Structure 1
Amino acid sequence: MTTTTPAVDPILASVLQRRLDAISKEMATLLMRSSRSPIFNEIGDLVTVIFDAHGRTLAQAEYAAIIAFGARPPLEYILEYFGDDIHEGDVIIHNDVFTGGNQNADTGIYMPIFHDGQLVAWSAAKGHLADIGGMTAGGYDPNAKEVWQEAFRIPPVKIYESGVLRKDVWDLVAANIRFSFVMEDVKAMVGACAIGRRHIQALLGRYGRATFDTHMEYVLDSSERQVRAEISRWPDGVYHGESEMVSDGLDPTRRYRIACEITIDGEEITFDFSHTDDQAPGFTNMPPASASGAVRIAFLMLVAAGDIVIPTNEGLFAPIRTVFRKGSLLNPNFPAATIFGNQMSDEIMECVMSALADALPDRVTAGWAKYMATALHGTDPATGEPYVTLTVFQRTGPGAMNGSHGWDALGFSGTAGQMRAADPEMFEITSPHFMEYHEYLPDSAGAGRWRGGLGTRSAWRSDGVHAHGVTMGEDIEAEGATPGLGLFGGHDAGLNRMLLEYPDGSAYEWGSKEITDLPPGTVIRSWCGGGAGYGDPFERDAAEVAEEVRSGLLSAAKARDEYGVVVDAATNLTDEAATRALRGLRATTTKEKN
């Protein structure tokens, strides 16, 4: 019996592509609403994905982009590992960074989808579990030097086999996790995958596999054609960029170089990080799945700047090649510690944007203020129960780009602004902390024709017993960090500062990757830098500058000194004559120098 390949209907292809997007988003919504951890239901540090039978991404809801682009490599390994031993009703769990994972805390659930007895697709959910074993609750510990100290490694293993729960495997995983609610979050991930499976099977029942596969191939091919056409408009050449990481968690004075060579050749682009420094002895190493995900985030920003819309699927990344030297920071040898790796997305971003600044000036962003947050854990005195939480409400600012200011308080580049900040009241309800304030940090944005995004300042009191805090960030001013660079006359990004005020009245400058005790009553103060500016600040609209002075985001002194805009202190109105004179004086001085 011969089968005829269905003709492609472009309208149906679009309908199916949007339906898959809707399914992935419904999976994410269900996961967030049925999970127990604020890391899931408040922050959204997760992703849900639909793959085809071969492990190619068809659609995803990337709340945390670094996890989203780290969901595919484990499935590649799962397909190789199990081979034909994949059956309807199987559910596979995985987190191991040495078999495709991006971070051990980012644990994935993979569910095969069958139709008429054949494997046709996969649904997956992956998210940052509040705990996954290791020597420290939550996993973040700068003293870790090998993977076993960080986490309970889970290579691909079935927790359901042919629809039946494997209680032995389930109990083994649960026995290595400190918090009982984490396994409830795993159940929520299984439920999200089951919803995805149900909807995909309904689509297959309506249209048939041949129609589904044919139109998905058309969607993937269409995405690939679009992105290849976009790259072909970029100037061919070889471009170089660098970034620097300060401190490896063991030695705060240590500096590491992250370097990339980008080759644009016709319709294809290669990101080669072979000249990056060797791996670190501590936890500041980045698995290749995470590094590849960070490259994809930077690449998507460049593509999106061209005002084209391409579905996020495997076709979008077909023209990309990434190279990470074995034994380097971005592809460490086993059994290296790697829990900080996701946070190194900022260095990847800086490398890519600095390399392409001259080649693609209208697409790149100026330097970002690198990520800063903390992981806090201890015992809640009100309940006697252990707690763990992430303070991702701390937000740095991204860099500006041609035609656009940086988004205020966007935060971590690895989430591309999609991961949410927990509600301050929920932060207080779910952990023993009291928020004193959380607000924009005035004067934090790097000046420019287009200014960088504002950073934030925050303060909260820790009332936990036997509490510890771990900083998981970069760009600490006291460590001598180098700020992200402004572009084409724009001013540099800001730096970060963390200060601990102890109950006895003493204070301590907290480092970028440091674990420390937090006695009850300790107040943590955070200043997060803003992004760098793009273009000459004296070309920024004076009325816009004055409005920021009136709103309290910009001081009158910075408006005068960096933008050449004079705002009357008494009336908060622009002194237009003084502004014209000041800007004219600078223009005359510049002309004379030239």
Structure 2
Amino acid sequence: MQTPRSVSRSQLARQKQRNKEIDTITLDLIENALKSTLQEMDAVLLRSAISPAIREQYDESSMIADHKGHMVAGHFGSYIAEMLRDNTFDFSPGDVILQSDPYKSGGAVSHINDWMVLIPIFYDQSLVGYSSMFGHMVDVGGPVAGSASVSANSIFGEGVKIPPIKIYDKGNINQAALDLVLNNTRTPQMNYRDLMAIVAGSRLGEAQVLELCDRFGRQTYTHACGQLLSRTRQTMKQLIINTLPTEPLSFEDFVDDDGCGNGPFKMRLTVWREEDNAYFDWTGTSNQAPGAINFYLHKGMFKMFVGACLIVNFEPQMLLNEGFYDLIHVTLPKGSLVQP
């Protein structure tokens, strides 16, 4: 049946909003559009940045989250809940958040060289999601060039930590904050261009989500995000049952030295499942090292590692998102190498 020419695109969008259940074709279209969006975001950043860390090493990543901050499509665990728990923002269209502090993002960035950008996405004045990217800066201050001192015995010995700040407020750049950040790096021009490339990639993600809302309607898009999370969760349930042991299995390895003459340091992980829930316990891992080998592991990031491993190997067509995170239980001992 052909659609009458008198029916406008906006009318079709409103009609789709009234349909509570989304048909499989529409859901697949939105899913693949989000997959393509991630690739386009990465392409914008890789082609626009000028530092070798991003252009040649590909040390960057992208993410699209729903209005609750859940990663719907992406390559790193969503940090939005942790960030908003400790920082209150009155988000408006045109806002851009910049941060690089692992302790302000639950460890979503592993060190302060990673500058992360977050853009809230508004459609008809309603928050429909977030677009986010991070990229590795070649220098962020500190005692040594490159900001990766092997003799650093705290995060303050690495460089300048950027707390979550609005680098753009309602579309207007916060020049004072930007000047302060760039004044504390040995490569201000390179960092500035890389930061603007990260912002550009994140804005492309914002634009693509808005286009999906235009095409399918806001309610259809937000409902599709929920269904995509649920679909990945159902797949992960079966993967856990098929691949993980019911009896706990442990593995351990050692880091010989922390660069300051201390060591060795043990890394121990125990894995098992209970029905369709998986458990990963780092108990037995050595206490944090005096030297710079500690890794503040984000639970969401680790869950993403698990999901990526299972999905890539057994269900490569499945969309990687955090819909399955409640099925993965992670124990990270405080004060250890993985939770300093």
TM-score where L is the length of structure 2: 0.89
- Once residues 276 and 10 of structure 1 are traced to their aligned partners in structure 2, the CA distance between those partners, rounded to angstroms, is 45
SS state at 1:293 partner:
helix
Task: Indicate the residue corresponding to 1:160 in structure 2.
Answer: 168
Residue 52 in 1 paired to residue 63 in 2? no
Pairs within 5 Å for 1:434-449: none
Partner of 2:104: 99
Contact 2:132 2:202 in 1 (8 A): yes
Question: Does structure 1 residue 76 correspond to structure 2 residue 86?
Answer: no
Question: Is structure 2 residue 126 aligned with structure 1 residue 118?
Answer: yes
What is the one-letter code of the residue matched to 2:37? I
Q: Do 2:41 and 2:62's aligned partners in 1 also have CA atoms closer than 8 Å?
A: yes
Q: Does 2:37 correspond to 1:23? A: yes
Deviation at 1:151, TM superposition (A): 1.6
Q: Aligned pair in 2 of structure 1 residues 134, 329: CA closer, same or farther (>3 Å)? A: same
**Paired position in structure 2 for 1:7:** 21
Distance apart, 1:213 and its partner CA: 1.1
Change (3 A) 1:307 1:162: closer
**Equivalent residue number for residue 267 of structure 2:** 258
What secondary structure is seen at the aligned counterpart in 2 of 1:233?
A: helix
The whole-number CA distance in structure 2 between the counterparts of 1:327 and 1:105 is 22
1:213/1:295 Cα in 2 relative to 1: closer, same or farther (>3 Å)? closer
Aligned letter for 1:15?
L
User: How far 1:258 sits from its partner (Å)?
Assistant: 0.8
1:201 to 177, 202, 210: 210
> How much has 1:300 moved relative to structure 2?
2.9
Is 2:292 aligned against 1:287?
Answer: no
Measured in 2, the distance between the counterparts of 1:130 and 1:110 equals 20
Call closer, same or farther: CA 1:6–1:198 in 2, change over 3 Å: same
Distance in 2 between residues matched to 1:29 and 1:169, nearest whole Å: 27
* Paired residue secondary structure (1:305): helix
Residue 241 of structure 1: which of 246, 251, 257 is its match?
Answer: 251
**SS at structure 1 position matched to 2:69:** coil
Query: What residue is the counterpart of 2:7 in the other structure?
Result: none
Task: State the one-letter code of the partner of 1:243.
Answer: D
* Structure 1 position 118, deviation (Å): 1.2
Contact kept? 1:27, 1:196, Cα under 8 Å = yes
Letter in 1 for 2:260: L
Shift of 1:125: 1.1
Instruction: Specify the code of the residue in structure 1 equivalent to 2:51.
Output: S
Amino acid at match of 2:49: S
How much has 1:285 moved relative to structure 2?
0.4
State the one-letter code of the partner of 1:49. M
- Give the helix-richer structure, 1 or 2: 2
SS in 1 for 2:181: helix
Higher CA-based Rg: 1
- The counterpart of 1:150, out of the listed 155, 158, 169, is 158
Counterparts of 2:64 and 2:310, CA distance in 1: 25
Where 1:220 maps in the other structure, the secondary structure is helix
- Say which structure, 1 or 2, has more relative contact order (CA 8 Å, 6+ apart): 2
Alignment of 1:535-554 (within 5 A): none
Q: Quick one: distance in 2 between partners of 1:298 and 1:121?
A: 24
Please say if 1:304 is aligned against 2:312.
yes
Matches of 1:306 and 1:204 in 2, distance apart? 32
8 Å CA contact 2:239–2:310 kept in 1: the answer is: no
Cα contact 2:300–2:325 (8 A) shared by 1: no
How many angstroms apart in 1 are the aligned matches of 2:55 and 2:248?
Answer: 43
Q: Match for 1:210: what amino acid?
A: Q
Question: Are the equivalent residues in 2 in contact too, given 1:260–1:271 (CA < 8 A)?
Answer: yes
Kindly indicate whether the alpha-carbon contact (under 8 Å) linking 1:237 and 1:265 is maintained by their aligned counterparts in 2: no
Confirm or deny: 8 A CA contact 2:304 2:322 kept in the other structure. Answer: no
Cα deviation, residue 307, structure 1: 4.9
* Structure-2 separation of matches of 1:168 and 1:276: 43
| 2:337 counterpart of 1:329 | yes
In the alignment, the residues of structure 1 paired with residue 137 and residue 168 of structure 2 have an alpha-carbon distance, to the nearest angstrom, of 19
Structure 2 spans left out of the alignment, 5+ residues: 1-16
The alpha-carbon deviation at position 162 of structure 1 amounts to: 1.0
TM-score (norm. length: structure 1)? 0.52
Q: Flag the 1:239–1:28 CA change in 2: closer, same or farther, 3 A.
A: same
Match of 1:39 in 2: 53
Change (3 A) 1:295 1:116: closer
Structure 2 residue aligned with 1:140: 148
Give 1:303 shift: 4.4
Q: After TM superposition, give the deviation of residue 294 of structure 1 in Å.
A: 4.8
* Letter of the structure 2 residue corresponding to residue 145 of structure 1: N
Calculate percent identity across the aligned residue pairs. 27
Would the alpha carbon gap of residues 307 and 52 (structure 1) be closer, same or farther in structure 2, given more than 3 Å must change?
Answer: closer
Partner in structure 1 of residue 327 of structure 2: 319
Cα distance, 1:305 vs structure 2: 3.2
Cα drift, residue 260 of structure 1: 1.4
Displacement of 1:299: 4.9
The answer to whether the Cα contact below 8 Å between 1:5 and 1:210 also exists between their aligned partners in 2 is: no
Which residue of structure 1 lines up, in the alignment, with residue 9 of structure 2?
Answer: none
* Structure 1 pair 26–305 and aligned structure 2 pair: CA distance change class (3 A): closer
Residue identity matched to 1:222:
R
Distance in 1 between residues matched to 2:296 and 2:177, nearest whole Å: 26
1:576 matched residue in structure 2: none
The aligned amino acid for 2:308 is L
Q: Which moved more, 1:75-84 or 1:41-50?
A: 75-84
> What is the Cα deviation at residue 308 of structure 1?
5.1
**1:339-360, CA deviations, whole angstroms, 9 ceiling, x for partnerless residues?**
xxxxxxxxxxxxxxxxxxxxxx
Unaligned runs of 5+ in 1: 63-67, 333-594
Do the aligned partners of residues 327 and 40 (structure 1) sit closer, same or farther apart at CA in structure 2, a change above 3 Å counting? Answer: same
* 8 Å Cα contact 2:311/2:320 also seen in 1: no
Aligned partners of 1:211, 1:6: CA distance in 2, in Å? 8
Contact 2:303 2:328 survives alignment (8 Å): no
Q: Which residue of 2 aligns with 1:219?
A: 228
Q: Which amino acid aligns with 1:174?
A: L
Supply the AA of the counterpart residue of 2:267: I
C-alpha change, 1:296 and 1:204, in structure 2 (3 Å) is: closer
Matched, 1:230 2:230: no
